[in-house]
Amino acid sequence: MPSKKLLYLIYIYFIIASISKATDELEEIARVGIIGAGIGGTSAAYFLRDLFGDKVLIDIFEKQHVGGRLAPVTIGGHNYNAGGTIIHPANLYMLNFTDILGLECDAHPEPGRLGIWNGEEVMFSTSDYLPVTLAKMFWRYGMDAYNIKNWVQENTLACMTNLYKFQRDGHAFSSVEDLLNAMCPHLVDFTRLSIRDLFKKDGFSDRFIDEFVYGALRINYGQTSGIHALVGSVSMAGVEPGLWNVVGGNQQVPQGLLRKSGANLIRGKVTTVSLSSDESPPVYQIDYLPGTSTNKDDINSKEYDIVIVATPLYKGVSNIKFEDFQKDIEPVHYDFHLTVASFIEGLPNSSYFGFDSVDSLPSCMMTTNESLFFNSLSKQKPVSGKTAEKPVYRIFSNKVLKVDELKQLIPEWSDLKVVSWMAYPEYPSSLKNLPSFTLHEQMYHINAIEMAASAMEMSVIGAKNVALLAYYRYTGQYDKIDELLTNDSSSEKTEL
């Protein structure tokens, strides 16, 4: 019979062997190719570096500029946020990124009064004095103006708190529906009906929905109260107090995350993703045109163990081809919404809205009439946080405006910049199916989360989920994927 000393040595041997085996799992460097250097792609690179340590090589392909839809526009010698402009105080990832990157928050990106215009008259406007604003809100909308804040907190922001906890604990989900169910099961139900129907069911008045809610949807998504209720609830969070942006421009966040990740930026346009080897684990090949080349003879190729698509794969938006896969990988069959932002250095026509002077005109005018040629008019603040020498206004519209249309709102200007982009999905009133984050065994799509709602923080949440999925599958840790979650979410902390 073996001695106790021998048994002890054997036990120690197996412990050391187990530790060595776990360490050896990451001895091979994982090769990751990320397509798109917006907030989704760069945050995915940051999270992957945190998970893999130095056992990963990350390439990020970008055909335009780092930051994607967060790119600024320069007018009158100042920079302004053109794409993703505002961040909610409950967006913990964006808050933590600014802290990690040593950036500053500007708590008042769009100060001033709010007005709601129906094409004929201003139906409601706030005051420079809070007590007066509260009285006006109550007079026109009753308790709806108070109840909406509690509704957003209970039905949307509390669910975000749950998700932050799950992701901090390392849980990952294969599909958007699984992720929403983990946050709060009712969020999936929210994708099955319109925001108008949901608010009517929850007791909000027609006046509040048709004016305040409709106006918020027009300025945030350029769409109507017929969109599904989940994205509608996110839109309502976007008109709460305390919104902020990053001093110097929100694009600094993805730029900083790219540096922190140590990823290699490849300037070029991805043309094809193909399955180089269908054995398990698979090997993928990315073909791309370097720089600004359009000559097909210039195509380069690189192979990867993991591919992450961090750009929209929607009908009419994506030109990436997927080849040699047993199952077709096709774009999501929903249209993308064109958003046009016209930045104008000049004074607005206050009489168009029925005001005697620019000083009496609300600094942000929402609209509630779908037939109007513009969605909103709002005075802008430079990303520097300083006051511009001349006022700059931003006009949101669903098309490029004609000169005579612009002149109706701002008769004369000294500078004009127009930025148009396919900003987010054209949201239906009901979604039959929510997409999967997984395109293939080790190929993922961050932007799948946009069908639930499009926002900077949502992109980061999708990136974190995809990074966890990729890491767990690469290292064979499947127990953290789609695990039934029963943890108490009440102990949430603000550190991620």
Tell whether the model's pLDDT for residue 44 goes beyond 80.
Answer: yes
CA distance 62 to 249: 19
Nearest to 393 by CA among 379, 381, 403: 379
pLDDT per residue as tens digits for the range 67-90? 887 888 999 889 998 877 778 888
CA distance 285 to 310: 16
CA distance 127 to 141: 15
Tell whether the model's pLDDT for residue 17 goes beyond 60.
Answer: no
- What would the mean pLDDT of 376-394 be, rounded to a whole number? 90
pLDDT score recorded for residue 335: 84
DSSP code, position 389: S
Query: What's CA 207's distance to the chain center, in Å?
Result: 30
Burial of 192-204, coded b for 16+ CB within 10 Å and e otherwise, reads ebbbbbbbeeeeb
> Residue 493: pLDDT band by 50, 70, 90 thresholds?
very low
Percent of the chain with pLDDT over 70: 90
Residue 136 burial by CB count (10 A; 0-12/13-18/19+): exposed, middle or buried? middle
Handedness of CA 461, 465, 470, 471 (dihedral sign): positive
pLDDT score recorded for residue 2: 54
pLDDT per residue as tens digits for the range 148-203? 999 999 999 999 999 999 999 999 999 999 999 999 999 999 999 999 999 999 99
Tokens for 187?
A: 């969020």
pLDDT score recorded for residue 210: 96
For the ranges 182-196, 388-402, 470-484, which has the lowest average pLDDT?
A: 470-484
Handedness of CA 297, 301, 307, 311 (dihedral sign): negative
- What would the mean pLDDT of 318-331 be, rounded to a whole number? 87
Tokens for 182?
A: 């983990």
> How many CB atoms sit inside 10 A of residue 265's CB?
17
Asked whether the beta carbons of 42 and 60 are under 8 A apart, the reply is yes
Four-point Cα dihedral 163, 165, 171, 174, nearest 10: 0
DSSP reduced 3-state for 416? strand
pLDDT score recorded for residue 26: 52
pLDDT score recorded for residue 5: 55
Tell whether the model's pLDDT for residue 317 goes beyond 60.
Answer: yes
Tokens for 151?
A: 């509704």
Block residue for tokens 């009064």: 113
pLDDT per residue as tens digits for the range 218-277? 999 999 999 999 999 999 987 666 788 888 889 999 999 999 999 999 999 999 999 987
Query: Is the omega angle on the peptide bond into residue 89 within 30 degrees of 0, that is, cis?
Result: no
Tell whether the model's pLDDT for residue 15 goes beyond 70.
Answer: no
CA distance 66 to 264: 12
- DSSP strands (E only) in 83-226: 105-106, 114-117, 122-125
CA distance 85 to 99: 18
Q: 194 - beta bridge partners?
A: 228
Nearest to 419 by CA among 34, 41, 64, 42: 64
Residue 479 vs residue 4, higher pLDDT: 479
Residue 441 vs residue 387, higher pLDDT: 441
Crossing angle of helices 456-475 and 39-52, rounded to 10°: 30
What number of residues does the chain have?
Answer: 496
Give every CB contact of residue 17 below 8 A, 6+ residues apart in sequence.
none
Nearest to 174 by CA among 494, 439, 461: 439
